[in-house]
Amino acid sequence: MRAHKFQGTKINPSKFHPSQIRFLLIILPIALFMLLPLIYIFNHAFKPLEELFYYPPRFFVEQFTLQNFVRLFQVTGSSGIPMSRYLFNSIIVTVLVLFTSVLISTLAGYALSKLNFKGKRLLNEINTIALMFVGVAVTIPRYLIIEKLGLIDNFFIHVLPYLAIPVGLFLIKQFVDQIPNELIDASRVDGANEWQIYTKIILPLIRPAIATIVILSFQTVWNSADTSTTYINNDSLKTFAFYMNTLTSNTNGVAGQGMAAAASLIMFLPNLLIFIIMQSKVMDTMAHSGIK
């Protein structure tokens, strides 16, 4: 009797069910509370200068204005470089890093998981060890290597340090490990070469992991000003994240607050959009990451 009753009840119904009300009463207030910073960022960017300095601060904008964005695109840095140049650099760098990091991580993950070659185990161990190091810990050796390669003040130095992402390679390998070897062997018997196996079998099956790498790479590159600060002296090669850090210091501290609010929204919006687009794939990654 109990078993029959349980079988007729859906744990997660596709449509609204009265049993969901108790969960909604808990989740909705938490969700609304977590939305408050997002709402504030959007409102803050469209406030006129006087509203930015209201005390106590006002959460919602009262007199909507686009003047902060107009001034942001009109102002130039201390070297005369327009803001649009920094934004263009960031877009180009981000696109290059996303493409190359996904390509390298997926190719390496497939090779380390399904191919047999000398040094495979050593490379796996090196990648595992690399997961323990944060970027700050390798700043000095990275700078020495880049200097020896003659890449100081080179635009592609924005891309080079982010080509290989240890956590990305780890996730890809975990996903590829779950693909049955029999499927790949059957493809080889049917005449498929390694590139065809990679493009037509591996890539479609590891899309959740690829989406996670895209988000991680995007956030790391788009929000990073370290490369422009450390390796670039030519202002025309620096990124929008660097410009954000110097915006208020290059202009009047009070007058620059409106532009800083607008720039913060420009920096934040792409992060929000890419996460919304790919969040379902990220949840699939979390669900499968521990499954063997």
Q: What is the DSSP letter of 47?
A: -
Q: Is the pLDDT of residue 251 over 70?
A: no
Cα 144 from Cα 166, distance rounded (Å): 21
Instruction: Kindly indicate the confidence band of residue 282, based on its pLDDT and cuts at 50, 70 and 90.
Output: low
Cα 112 from Cα 110, distance rounded (Å): 6
Cα 83 from Cα 239, distance rounded (Å): 9
Residues 149 and 260 in one domain: yes
Q: Is the pLDDT of residue 4 over 50?
A: no
Cα 202 from Cα 186, distance rounded (Å): 14
**What value does the mean pLDDT take over residues 201-207?**
88
**What value does the mean pLDDT take over residues 41-59?**
81
Written as six digits, the tokens of 68 are: 């902060």
Cα 261 from Cα 243, distance rounded (Å): 13
CB 162 within 8 Å of CB 97: yes
* Mean of the per-residue pLDDT values of the chain: 81
**What value does the mean pLDDT take over residues 218-234?**
87
Residue 13 lies in a domain: no
Residues 57 and 129 in one domain: no
Q: What is the DSSP letter of 45?
A: H
Q: Give residue for tokens 């399904």.
A: 114
Structural domain tally of the chain? 2
Looking at residue 77, what is its pLDDT? Answer: 54
Residues 123 and 263 in one domain: yes
Residue 136 lies in a domain: yes
Looking at residue 94, what is its pLDDT? Answer: 92
Q: Give residue for tokens 């997660």.
A: 12
- CB within 8 Å of 280: residues ≥ 6 apart: none
Looking at residue 82, what is its pLDDT? Answer: 81
Looking at residue 5, what is its pLDDT? Answer: 44
Looking at residue 253, what is its pLDDT? Answer: 59
Residues 175 and 215 in one domain: yes
Q: Give residue for tokens 């990305």.
A: 168
- Of the listed ranges 193-202, 243-252, 282-291, the least confidently predicted one is 282-291
Residues 152 and 45 in one domain: no
- CB within 8 Å of 47: residues ≥ 6 apart: 58, 61, 62, 63, 65, 68, 258, 261
Residues 157 and 216 in one domain: yes
**What value does the mean pLDDT take over residues 213-225?**
87
Residue 12 lies in a domain: no
Q: In a 3-state reduction of DSSP, which class is residue 91?
A: helix
Q: What is the DSSP letter of 58?
A: P
Q: Tell me: the pLDDT tens digits for 74-130?
A: 776 555 778 888 889 999 999 999 999 999 999 999 998 888 888 888 988 888 888
Q: Tell me: the pLDDT tens digits for 132-183?
A: 877 777 788 888 888 888 888 888 888 888 887 888 888 888 888 888 888 8
Residues 214 and 84 in one domain: yes
Residues 30 and 55 in one domain: yes
Expressed as residue numbers, the domain containing 171 is 79-288
Query: Of 65, 89, 123, which marks where a domain is finished?
Result: 65
CB 251 within 8 Å of CB 76: no
